[in-house]
Amino acid sequence: MPHCSNTMQHIIYSHTVADDLTKLLAELHYDRLFLLTDENTHRLCRPLLKGSPAEHAENIVIGATDEHKTPETLMAVWQALCQGGATRHSLLVCLGGGMVTDLGGFAAATFKRGIKFVNIPTTLLSMVDAAVGGKTGINFNGLKNEIGAFREADAVIVSTDFLHTLDDINMRSGYAEMLKHALLDGDRMWAEHLTFDVYSFDFSRLQTLVEESIVLKQRIVKEDPHERGLRKALNLGHTIGHAFESLALQKQCTVPHGYAVAWGLVCELYLSTSFGFPVEKMRQTFAFVREHYGCFNYDCRDYETLYTYMQHDKKNVAGHINFTLLGDVGDIRLDCRVSKEDVFAAFDFLREG
């Protein structure tokens, strides 16, 4: 059974999900089939699998949203697998956003030391990020993705058809991860992303951008599946972005993950200018983010708290905050250190321009 191998993960781009799932399942050989959904994807997305073997699979339905990404939900999934008679030759299809694919992937990775699983992401964020690349896990002790394993899905079916009913905020949230991939890739992809109309999505163009985004992520994961080096590039925008998310949570006003990443990208591009990143490109990216994501509501009294959150980032080494920055679009610099004053100046920059 493939774990994180040095081959590209099997991704199927589809506009006929039920047919493509049927073909895929015919190749995967399993004894019992289970379908994991949350309450929303069970109602809204499961009908798209009609006509495939998943229609008759044993259903496991969990609560929607990150609040349910817990050990209790994981145990409920293990329990449902046991009660449904799952063996180590069974197969789990995870149909949902990042919460479902992360938790479902971890349940599959651990049940009887690992059963096959297929991800069918239903949000833009999970298509271009969570469902691809083998990071699985749950939240624990108030920390996001604290417990987990690297284990790639046996296949991922990506269908932008699911996105027609996704709301604008979730679309923009996913798009921020695509913008991050574009910044890591190069000028052409970056410029294309800045000219894409995120108010009235052109779905055929979006399909191309989604595929390019996934290919970029796959290239990085193939080279460094366990995040020992290059995969850290995917943290661009996240060191500061996660601090914004944590502060928002503390103030009981959650922000969508991608919005926090977009604001984090601006701050980290500002920091990147000390490593040669062109100021003009930083300003162009900032203008795009400001127009489509607005600004996080914070002021200088929050800076110390934000910095403390950054110091607790699990990706730090020996107490140092480790940034991924850029020398230019596509010129990735890993493990960068910057002064606290510069981080505070980046906070100023996002607020005041």
Q: Concatenated DSSP letters for 45-72?
A: TGGGGTTSGGGGSEEEEE--SGGG-SHH
Nearer to ligand GLY, 129 or 245 (CB): 129
- Judged by CB under 6 A, the residue of 155, 189, 234, 262 near ligand GLY is 234
Q: Least Å distance between CB 135 and ligand GLY?
A: 5
Q: Least Å distance between CB 220 and ligand GLY?
A: 8
Residues paired with 117 in a beta bridge = 92
- Judged by CB under 6 A, the residue of 135, 181, 193, 257 near ligand GLY is 135
Contacting ligand GLY within 244-283 (CB under 6 A)? none
Q: Least Å distance between CB 129 and ligand GLY?
A: 5
Nearer to ligand GLY, 135 or 172 (CB): 135
109 in contact with ligand GLY (CB under 6 A): no
Q: Least Å distance between CB 142 and ligand GLY?
A: 20
Phi-psi region of 97 (alpha: psi -120 to 50; beta: other; left: phi over 0): beta
Alpha helix stretches (DSSP H) within the chain: 17-28, 39-44, 71-83, 98-110, 124-125, 168-185, 187-195, 203-223, 238-250, 257-272, 279-293, 303-311, 340-352
Give the closest residue to 323 by CA, choosing from 343, 305, 295: 343
Give the closest residue to 235 by CA, choosing from 316, 162, 150: 316
Q: By CB under 6 A, which span of 4-12, 23-31, 110-118, 129-137 interacts with ligand GLY?
A: 129-137
Q: By CB under 6 A, which span of 25-33, 91-99, 128-136, 307-315 interacts with ligand GLY?
A: 128-136
Q: Least Å distance between CB 115 and ligand GLY?
A: 22
CB pairs under 8 A, 24+ apart, for 161-166? 161/15, 161/17, 161/48, 162/45, 162/48, 162/121, 162/122, 162/123, 163/123, 163/124, 163/201, 163/203, 163/206, 164/203, 165/44, 166/122, 166/123, 166/124
Q: By Cβ distance, which residue is nearest to ligand GLY?
A: 234
Q: Least Å distance between CB 329 and ligand GLY?
A: 19
Is 303 in a helix, a strand, or coil?
helix
137 in contact with ligand GLY (CB under 6 A): no
- Judged by CB under 6 A, the residue of 129, 152, 212, 268 near ligand GLY is 129
- Judged by CB under 6 A, the residue of 172, 193, 231, 292 near ligand GLY is 231
Nearer to ligand GLY, 53 or 148 (CB): 148
Contact 123, 174 (CB under 8 A): yes
104 in contact with ligand GLY (CB under 6 A): no
- Judged by CB under 6 A, the residue of 98, 133, 174, 225 near ligand GLY is 133
Q: Least Å distance between CB 199 and ligand GLY?
A: 26
148 in contact with ligand GLY (CB under 6 A): no
CB pairs under 8 A, 24+ apart, for 163-166? 163/123, 163/124, 163/201, 163/203, 163/206, 164/203, 165/44, 166/122, 166/123, 166/124
Q: Least Å distance between CB 321 and ligand GLY?
A: 18
Nearer to ligand GLY, 131 or 171 (CB): 131
Q: Least Å distance between CB 177 and ligand GLY?
A: 8
Residues near ligand GLY (CB under 6 A):
129, 133, 135, 231, 234
